[in-house]
Chains A and B, each alone.
Chain A
Amino acid sequence: MDNKKQCIGIVIIAIIILVLTTGCASTTVPVTMNFPEAPEPILLEPEELEPLPADAKELTDLLENTTVNYGKYRELKIKYIQWQRWFNSNRRLHKETTNE
């Protein structure tokens, strides 16, 4: 009779262990989203503005220098706007994917 009780006890313990170990299985989805790659042109170093040469004498030297520098500023402005566009689109995609 004692032997029987012992057997039943062992069986109950075995079942409890089995249920507990299986029940602890993780249900978190192990899939993560990689950080998005930014396009190369917006990762480049910005160009330095060109100073006016010390031997410049004429007004047109100043105008030429200003024109070139304004051009560099406008190029940089485009890249800056595209940075914002890249960030906003990727943030939207991340939100849509992860439902955060």
Chain B
Amino acid sequence: MSLWFIQLIPTSWLDTAAFLILIVGAVMFFAGQLFKYTPFVKQYNLPLRIIGFILLMAGAYFNGGLGVEMEYRERIAEMEEKIAIAEAKSKEENIKIVKEIETKTEIIKQDTVETLAEIERLKEQLNANCELSPEVITIYNQGMTGESPLSKDVIEQYNESIKGGAE
């Protein structure tokens, strides 16, 4: 059984309640002892002492337990603070990452445009002694897409092995 509901009660209320229970318990217990021979009161002596004793014990325990509860709340606050700091740092890092990606991507795009312009400028000179055959295009595209006859076979075998495993 966990006393989760204690976490909902403000600290000052808990402090006061624990202290009051202790005081009331002590007063009742010692009053029972003091007035055990007083007429009209002595008939309430036993219940007074029993209830006083229970309250005294409970008050003592709650006062001790309150220290633990306070420590527990401190740990929660500390943890929440750490998490808030970590989340803020993570967001800062994300902003830096996005900025770096955007900056470097822009540079790459400029590089590409400049290289394409250079190719265009030297077009006649580069194309003077070379013509691409259909085989060049096929092999080039196979290398790029990974669709060579060999890799097709390997992929098919792999897909079949997965199907076999699933069945």
Contact = CB atoms under 8 A, between A and B. Distances in A.
Contacts of A69: 144
B76 A52 contact: no
Nearest to A4: B46
A7 B50 contact: yes
Nearest to B115: A67
B132 A41 contact: no
B56 to A, nearest CB: 10
Contacts of A61: 132
Q: How large is the interface on B (under 10, 10 to 19, 20 to 34, 35 or more residues)?
A: 35 or more
A70 B114 CA distance: 13
A51 to B, nearest CB: 4
B108 A71 contact: yes
Interface in A5-31: 7-8, 11, 14-15, 18-19, 21-22, 24-27, 29-31
A86 B94 contact: yes
Contacts of A63: 119, 126
A24 B2 CA distance: 6
A1 B86 CA distance: 66
Contacts of A68: 112, 116
Contact of B97 (A11, A70, A86): A86
A59 B114 CA distance: 18
A96 B141 CA distance: 48
B67 interface: no
A42 to B, nearest CB: 7
B126 A93 contact: no
Contact of B54 (A14, A62, A74, A97): A14
A74 B108 contact: yes
Contacts of A14: 54
Contact of A60 (B68, B82, B119): B119
Nearest to A18: B58
B2 A34 contact: no
Interface of A: 4, 7-8, 11, 14-15, 18-19, 21-22, 24-27, 29-31, 33-34, 36-42, 49, 51-54, 56-64, 67-71, 74-75, 78-79, 82, 85-86, 89-90, 93-94, 96-97
23 contacts: A7-B50, A29-B72, A29-B76, A31-B76, A33-B86, A33-B87, A34-B87, A38-B94, A52-B137, A52-B140, A52-B141, A52-B144, A54-B137, A56-B132, A61-B132, A68-B116, A78-B105, A78-B108, A79-B101, A85-B97, A89-B90, A96-B86, A97-B85
